[in-house]
Amino acid sequence: MTETVEVPAGAMTSRRREATRQKLLDAAAQVFAEEGLDAASVEAICERAGFTRGAFYSNFDSKDALFLELAGRVARSRVDSARERVALLESEGDLREVTVDALSIVQQVLDVSGDDRLAILLMSEIRIHALRDPQLGAAYLAQNEDIRTSVAQVVRDIAAAKSLRLRLPADEVARLMLTVWEGESVRGTMAGLDYETVCRRTSEELARVAQLVIEVPADQPRASSE
């Protein structure tokens, strides 16, 4: 006889709430891609997700709050992808086989192929709104600090696995890499470059940063990213 496992009512409610929240975020990303942040109304997001305004406001205080969380999800996915890549390379023993060539490290660990046009536009729009709204700005800065802390840990993991010495503290390396990552992605998208070219150019710029911050032993020639 199969035993029936009862799921606590509170757990079921929590799952439904999270599913609703996720659908609203997914719908917001789609509406934003089609209409832009300012034109993406709460009504349009709710209609796309199949929910009422009540469902929206039971999950988010405002449209800005939703888009801030969506931007955070994009940013965290970058960091999670890098962290998973480090763990995979370490488990397979591949990370120690990567040379000190900065471009090689960036390509194998800091994969930027997830930065699609929607993600870049979303982060740029959120940044503009954060400049105008002090409350949103404070939330954006706090979110950025969390992301920088996570990237810094990835940098420490790479340095430890590769026995690398850094010219700057990991926190500063993370700050530089995030600035370059965002800047180059925005410039490439603004210039109308195709997706693959934006990814390649961003990786190359990140490699130049890596070259500057990695202390290469005197008996080992510095690799070029050119």
Give 54-92 pLDDT, tens digit per residue. Answer: 999 999 998 888 888 887 787 777 677 767 766 776 676
Do 203 and 106 contact (CB within 8 A), yes or no? yes
Residue 148 is predicted with a pLDDT of 85
The secondary element (H helix, E strand) that includes residue 223 is: none
CA-to-CA distance for 182 and 173, rounded, in angstroms?
14
Residue 171 is predicted with a pLDDT of 92
CA-to-CA distance for 145 and 118, rounded, in angstroms?
22
Please list, in sequence order, all residues whose beta carbon lies within 8 angstroms of the beta carbon of residue 140, skipping any fewer than 6 positions away: 68, 71, 126, 127, 130
CA-to-CA distance for 226 and 210, rounded, in angstroms?
13
Residue with the larger pLDDT of the pair 171 and 103: 171
Residue with the larger pLDDT of the pair 8 and 199: 199
Give 137-193 pLDDT, tens digit per residue. Answer: 888 888 888 888 888 888 888 788 778 888 999 999 889 988 888 888 889 888 988
